[in-house]
Structure 1
Amino acid sequence: MKQRNPIIEWVTDPTKNFLTSFLVGTLLFTIISDGISALFWDNLSEWLQAKLNIEELSTFRLIVVVVLILAIFVLIYVTPFSRWLKRRLVRTFGNTPQTVQTNVRPLRETFPGLIAVMGRTLPNDESPAERAILHHWNGGQTPHLLHCWIVCTQQSESSAQELQKKLIDKGLSQGCALHYGDDYWMDDPENFGEQLNLCVADDLIDDPIYIQRLINCIYADACTRYDLDESEMIADFTGGTKSMSAGILLACATAARRLQYISQLGNRELMEIEIAYKLVPDKSA
């Protein structure tokens, strides 16, 4: 179960600690907001009103309020700022999950979101990405795969193109979208204003930290662009280099993110890794 930092709970939930919630949430925040309000209206409003050439004070105040409301809505719902801020707050004040148990079991479920890695394969071979996609496509029967992000290298991007043609021939309809290549850009939730694409450059193939960052971008993209929750997705780390697999594992070391791989035994069954967590305070912050 996800636990929150006790200080945050005391501030945001009056039932946890009423005195702390009242002092911080009511008194402190009120004093801060009143101070900012007085600073603006008493010192900056006359200058701004003159610059905008607005004579009526009530009209000026209405314009300011509307502009501020619109700016806040844009900041929250249009830009990735809120997700970036949330990640920073969690890292600073939150708790660190630590693994206590790992189980492996055959994967029977299908997911609407899939992350796969495209390796270089021969034309007639079934790649791990193809095997994973066909499982979650489920023959087109509901529930089935809706979006698949295929992480490619510069050498394997052409293989992803061939895979898309092959899957269409096998009946993969327009109900499932495959995203891959250097023309598919995503906002980076951890680096405000930066973007990454799904084609990994040659000098980054063996950098697990970059792959971790890329996978985090995919999860953020799935949420903002396609309204997919992390629990509705699964990441397959079978294909690609060992460093790429390590990066996927690092990115998915949270309770909400699911992991799968293709067994190398028997009929290449899909296996899910179930990781149990306990949360302990992060003393490094």
Structure 2
Amino acid sequence: MTKPSWVVRAIADPTKNFLAFFLVGTLLFTVVSDGVSYLVWDWLGTWIETHWGIQQAWFRGALTGGLLLFLLGLTYGTDLSRWLMSQLGRSPLFAAVEVPQANVVPLKRTYPGLIVAMSPKPHSPAEEALRFHWNQGQVPHVQDCWMICTEKSLPYATELAERLTAEGITQTLRLHYGAYGVENPEMPGEMLSLVVPDALMDDPNYIQQLVNAIYADAEGLGLVESEVIADYTGATKGMTAGMLLACTRPERPLQYLSQVNPGQIMAVQVSYRLRPVRNRR
């Protein structure tokens, strides 16, 4: 997908750069058109009428018709417009800009930080994602895992933690779930629990706040955003929406377990940013 260059957008769209739109679209084009109009209609028309005796009205009509036929011939009878576009496209000022989009590719690497949504069932997608990043204990592997639970899935998260402890995995892996709290970066001092109340489990805005708080907590543990990946496979629809809203910038990677190829974890490469809309009164 491509979009026009910044020069074209600045000239053509007043919402992008009003000053450039006004100067080029209004002042420059007006001056140029007035100059051409004077040169062709007034000076040249008067000169032809004086030397050749052709009235200006006939001259203007013939010239207008001739120019119209000439432009139509160039447009539909030749490749001039395509050639001009290709030549302008070579210039960095007018070249179209390639717009990267979100791509889904198989995940090939592990991350030191992992955010998962716990499902209310044994051997959940959260466990599969965690074991993938555990990498059988081989470095590099996951070091911190935040498990977002509901009141129904919390017992399954506890069972998973017990199994991982029995296997010795938690000796080098820190599991954050249950009573573990993260500070809300939007409201310092407010602690958010990783156990989402039933009344808020389908609230995307709350889940977005919670995931933002988890990323802030990860930073306090020495992990930057790009080192923490969020898996939304086991989440409810509302929780999935909140996790996606929190990760709509390239610095926060996303993943999910493929339903087409069981066992395959897919990475979502996001290449855009969203900005919140201010509340209108």
Taking structure 1 as the reference length, the TM-score comes to 0.60
Residue 222 of structure 1 aligns with an amino acid whose one-letter code is A
Match of 1:209 in 2: 205
Structure with higher RCO (Cα < 8 A, 6+ apart): 1
One-letter amino acid matched to 2:244? L
Give the CA deviation at 1:278. Answer: 6.9
CA distance in 1, matches of 2:240, 2:277: 29
CA displacement at 1:111 relative to structure 2: 0.4
Question: Offset at 1:143?
Answer: 0.4
Q: In structure 2, what is the equivalent of residue 140 of structure 1?
A: 137
Code of the residue aligned with 2:146 in structure 1: it is: W
- Structure 2 equivalent of residue 82 of structure 1: none
Q: Is the 8 A contact 2:111 2:227 kept in 1?
A: yes
Q: Which runs of 5+ in 2 are unaligned?
A: 1-98
Q: Which residue of 2 aligns with 1:179?
A: 176
Q: Kindly tell me: are residues 283 and 266 of structure 1, through their superposed partners in 2, closer, same or farther at Cα, counting changes over 3 Å?
A: closer
Residue 255 of structure 1 deviates from its aligned partner by 1.9
- Whole-angstrom CA distance in 1 between matches of 2:276 and 2:120: 41
Deviation, structure 1 residue 192: 2.2
Q: Return the offset for 1:146.
A: 0.3
- Matched residue SS, 1:114: strand
**Alpha-carbon deviations, 1:200-257, whole Å to 9, x = none?**
0010011011000000000001111x11100111000001211101100000011210
Q: 1:130 aligns with which of 127, 147, 167?
A: 127
Number of equivalent positions: 181
Alpha-carbon separation, structure 1, partners of 2:248 and 2:277: 19
Q: Which runs of 5+ in 1 are unaligned?
A: 1-98
Residue equivalent to 1:102: 102
Q: Would you say the 8 A contact 1:129–1:239 is kept in 2?
A: yes
Identity of aligned residues (%): 49
Structure ID, larger Rg:
2
CA contact (8 A) 1:110 1:144 kept: yes
Q: CA deviation at 1:265?
A: 2.0
Change (3 A) 1:264 1:195: same
From 221, 238, 247, the counterpart of 2:242 = 247
1:100 Cα offset (Å): 5.0
Change (3 A) 1:271 1:282: closer
Q: Does the CA-based 8 Å contact 1:100-1:278 persist in structure 2?
A: no
2:161 equivalent to 1:164 = yes
One-letter amino acid matched to 2:228:
M
